Amino acid sequence: MSTIRALSCATLIAVVALVCSPSRASTAAGAPIAVSVDTSANVHPFSPLIFGVAFGDATRNAQIGYTVRRWGGNSVTRYNWQVDVHSTAADWYYENIPGAADRTTVPPLNNSADVFVGAARSVGSDVLMTIPTIGWTPRADSPLQHPYFAGFSVAKYGAQQATDPWDPGAGNGHHADSTPITGNDPHDTSTAVGANFQTDWIAHLKSTFGGAATGGVKFYALDNEVMLWNSTHRDVHPQPTTYDETWANAANYGAAIKQQDPGALVTGPVTWGYCDLFGSAKDNCADGTDRQAHGGTPFVAWYLQQVCAHPLAGGAHVVDYLDLHYYPQGTNVALSSNDSATTAALRLRSLRELYDANWVSESWIADLGDADANHYSKPGLIPRVRAWIDGYCPGTKLAITEYNWGNDDTASGAVAQAELFGIFAREGVDMATRWVAPAANTLAERAFSLFLNYDGVGSKVQGNSVAASSANADQLGAYAFQSGARTMVLLTNKTALAQDAALTFAGTQNGTWKLFGFDATHALHLLGSGSINGASLALSALPTMSANLLVIEGSDTIFKNGFD
């Protein structure tokens, strides 16, 4: 007999669960959608490091239990650890912004980097720290208050298209007629530095928190979105970044990091998105003279080739993780609060760009065409780069350290976030960090909690990813996991109608089950429970636009082999 807890629903027969409540009553979309689960197929451990975020509130981060915290983004490309000053670059008028006010110590007490690392490590989160490689850092004499040093001073370079509302002396780097200012002096804001400046910082972090092998910072990223420097950081790096510059920095800084902390793991090249998978900034998307000068090999493939072709003494590589950023390019999909029916459907379909090699992007990416073996219009991101790893530098791990499928309080964005975890686990992503940590009590945060604390008492989705499939993945996504005798199935309803699901397992399931989930109006909670002794389970009326986790606790492992 199955029983429904925490809901006012009728008792059902055998293993059928009715998921309903008066507040969410909805007509089901039609016939149940078939979902198949095979815990003996496509079995592989998945990494807990996929549940990472960038920045966020330290207290809230600890409560949610994010596994990785990333110090990254445009501002950290120019961070001076010695005085706790960063550059806002193109994000905000190219200004040097101070942190700690007391500069009597190096680095200043309570500087932002040390506070960040200390907060993360105190609760067991791994840290991914960005190490600048651009060759410039904010000047040590940067003011502690307005007016700050600015890359395009109005007093020096004349009237500009826009200025900082709080500091009219800081311009946006464009003349009043909107043409870009060129020939500015990088020394207005910055000092040239080399790898030693950064390894001294790593030495400080190591002495303060321990080395990577003893509880300190474990991961270091080689800067941030290097192929955008000529736009984001054009006040100090106006020339487009090339294949050779990026690799020279990786070889130099990666080796220096490993020498300073042999246990550290390095990530690179930290791409910005789709175009720099294939070409450098000099190529201006996909192909160009720079790529042709390197045998016509796509940039990321060539970069991997260099990693394996130039090991350090003893055989270690200067880069351990291929580090990519990826934002879906469809209108209003990423970093957007648009949650209309049209956008929601587009947002959820765009998840296919990560894994379906035959899926044509519904964005400007499709305009790149499909005229050669690169199949530009079909992103197929993870299988594409996995093939490059296998072909050019086997053993390299894969990290997606910036992504976003919608702002925090979009219902479809939260469902997409939950499904992203299923994709990352199934496709073998080794680390992932969302941009940025969801705000407290938002829908996106619920997606993390579904995996990190689904029952409210600390239970997590962990162990192995196993085979699961849905007969209609555009309506109902299906992903499965197994940890010991526990089988877990993620079911994402991507529609505006309640959906029935008919689950079939490859072997007999024997034990109890619970169904947890969230939607736009209901926080993560228990929807239903029951028992199962067989190979099928019916779930009725999964709520509209929701993410749901079925957890089956096996009572006897003998039944996993189909004996009864």
Q: Tell me which of 13-27, 159-173, 466-480 is least confident.
A: 13-27
pLDDT tens-place string over residues 395-448: 999 999 999 999 999 999 999 999 999 999 999 999 999 999 999 999 999 999
pLDDT at 564 over 60: no
With a pLDDT cut of 70, the percent of the chain lying above it is 93
Indicate the angle between helix axes 112-122 and 195-209, nearest 10 degrees.
40
**pLDDT-above-90 percentage for the chain:** 93
**280 burial level (CB within 10 Å; 0-12, 13-18, 19+):** buried
The pLDDT tens digits for 73-118 are 999 999 999 999 999 999 999 999 999 999 999 999 999 999 999 9
Mean pLDDT over each residue of the chain, to the nearest integer? 93
What is residue 30's predicted lDDT score, i.e. its pLDDT?
81
Tell me what pLDDT residue 29 has: 63
Per residue in 176-232, pLDDT (tens digit) is 999 999 999 999 999 999 999 999 999 999 999 999 999 999 999 999 999 999 999
CA distance linking residue 452 with residue 235, whole number of Å: 42
Say whether pLDDT at 121 is over 90: yes
Contact status, residue 251 vs residue 240, Cβ threshold 8 Å: no
pTM for the complete prediction?
Answer: 0.93
Residues forming beta bridges with residue 513, ordered by sequence position: 530, 552
Residue 159: which of 183, 186, 179, 142 has the closest Cα?
179
**What Rg, from alpha-carbon coordinates, does the chain have?**
25
Q: What is the Cα–Cα distance from 349 to 147, expressed in whole angstroms?
A: 47
Q: How many CB atoms lie within 10 A of CB 348?
A: 25
Q: How far apart are CA 254 and CA 80, in angstroms?
A: 19
- Pair 89, 105: CB distance under 8 Å: no
